[in-house]
Amino acid sequence: STPVLRFKDDVLVEVRPHPGGSEVAMRSKSRVGKGDLGANAKRIRAFLAALRTRVPAAVR
């Protein structure tokens, strides 16, 4: 959910087989309203950055 107004968001993370390894597909979408002021994109970037620090070869 968003920190200020506590709106709920849906987040989907899929790990799919890919030649030579795996790929991560991620989606984040607000349940309420049309805009999110970049919150969903920020959430995806933060997740991928955290994944990159834990599994360096995971994100290219």
pLDDT tens-place string over residues 1-41: 556 667 788 999 999 998 988 889 999 998 888 778 888 99
pLDDT at res. 16: 92
pLDDT at res. 46: 94
Q: In angstroms, rounded to a whole number, what is the distance separating the alpha carbons of residues 12 and 4?
A: 22
Q: In angstroms, rounded to a whole number, what is the distance separating the alpha carbons of residues 46 and 60?
A: 15
The verdict on pTM exceeding 0.75 is: no
Q: Does the structure show a pLDDT above 80 at 56?
A: no
Q: Do the beta carbons of residue 14 and residue 24 sit within 8 Å?
A: yes
Q: In angstroms, rounded to a whole number, what is the distance separating the alpha carbons of residues 15 and 17?
A: 7
Check residue 24 and report its DSSP letter. E
